[in-house]
Amino acid sequence: MRFRPLRTATASQPTTPAETPPETMRAVVFDEPGAPEVLRVTDVSVPSPALSEVLVRVVAAGVNPIDAKTRLGRGVAGLIDRWPSTLGFDFSGVVVASPFETHDLQPGTEVFGMVPFPRSGGSYAEYVVVPSLSVARKPASLSHVEAAGVPLAALTAWGLVVETAHAHEGQRMLIHAGSGGVGHFAVQLAAYFGAQVTATGSERNLPWLRELGASVAIDYATTRFEDVVGEMDVVIDLVGNVHDDTGSRSLGVLRPGGLYVMVPTGGWPGYGEAAAAAGVRATGYKVIPDGSVLATLGRLLDSGAIQVFVDSVHDLSDVAAAHVEVERGHSRGKVVLTVAET
């Protein structure tokens, strides 16, 4: 029996000659946990890829709440095994070195993705080494600054809304902190898949939350959400009990057997027991840096089905100010660092 190919073979595309990276690079490091001022820019060695990893020249890097928590000694700080350490998960940049000659991500390819910090150096640096399965081609419609704000937040939102909550037509979903980095993607994805979205946020963000797809937007500062929402199928909690017992209060708006999803690290250690006592299901969630999902998100971004919002952009040398902004907790969408020119 002869093999019939499923598609006509095409000639391979020409690749960009690989650039030779320097021996050292600029990176933001910190020597011990502390305030934003512990972050400093210095020269460190450029990392070398191995096996299926790619070396990427970073153009922009996203700043996330987990970065600030880790800098303070919380978050994933306990996993840091060498100092000084470089923070950062998100990046957008250009491939410098590929695993092999026919790999899909050849030198010159614009990509975005997540660095496996703290197991390796973070993305607040001019070059990063990344597993090739944790990156995808950068959406053509986005700048590097915009793309750098996508990976961790959008992958988290996808995991919450699609893989955990299984968003579908008519589902009633409450999303706390809907205007933040993860939240603004979660609202859009939930609405895209047909859920009836209620989101909490600050007064200035209520019209924007409705634009993102929320049917109901609630000002958390002036309105007790449990007084105005009906019975929910799912609560995605991006706040926890660190503010006004948001987590505990959320259990009371879930239908029997409904699902409560706790996101912030350390936001409410006792959520599981409390949920069981209330007769609802509960789970935490940790982001999975899956390049195939990131590619799907890239297609949604290019089609305009979802959008990324960058609230502010800081130079790498201004990283302390970026952390101060993230810690205030009032950013709309994402905060991003510019690392290099394209």
Average pLDDT of span 55-68? 97
User: Is residue 13 predicted with pLDDT exceeding 70?
Assistant: no
Contact by Cβ (8 Å): 247, 275:
no
Q: Mean pLDDT over all residues of the chain? A: 94
User: Is residue 4 predicted with pLDDT exceeding 80?
Assistant: no
pLDDT digits (tens, 9 = 90+) for 246-293: 999 999 999 999 999 999 988 899 999 999 999 999 999 999 999 999
CB within 8 A of 302, min separation 6: which ones? 139, 140, 141, 142
Average pLDDT of span 179-205? 97
**Paired tokens of 73:** 């000694």
Confidence of residue 331 (pLDDT cuts 50, 70, 90): confident
pTM for this structure?
Answer: 0.93
User: Is residue 8 predicted with pLDDT exceeding 50?
Assistant: no
- Give me the pLDDT at residue 121, please: 92
CA distance 223 to 204: 14
Confidence of residue 75 (pLDDT cuts 50, 70, 90): very high
CA distance 230 to 238: 20
Confidence of residue 17 (pLDDT cuts 50, 70, 90): low
Spacing of C-alpha 120 from chain mean position: 18
Output the DSSP codes for 150-162.
Answer: SHHHHHHHHIIII
Contact by Cβ (8 Å): 151, 295:
no
Q: In the chain, which ranges are continuous DSSP H helix?
A: 65-71, 144-148, 151-158, 181-192, 206-212, 225-228, 246-251, 271-278, 291-303, 319-328
> Which of residues 1 and 316 earns the better pLDDT score?
316
**Paired tokens of 336:** 């991003």
Whole-angstrom CA distances from 30 to 40, 56, 72, 188, 231 are 6, 22, 10, 35, 46
Which parts of the chain are beta strand (E)? 24-29, 40-45, 53-63, 90-97, 110-114, 127-131, 135-137, 172-175, 196-201, 216-219, 232-237, 254-262, 281-284, 310-315, 334-338
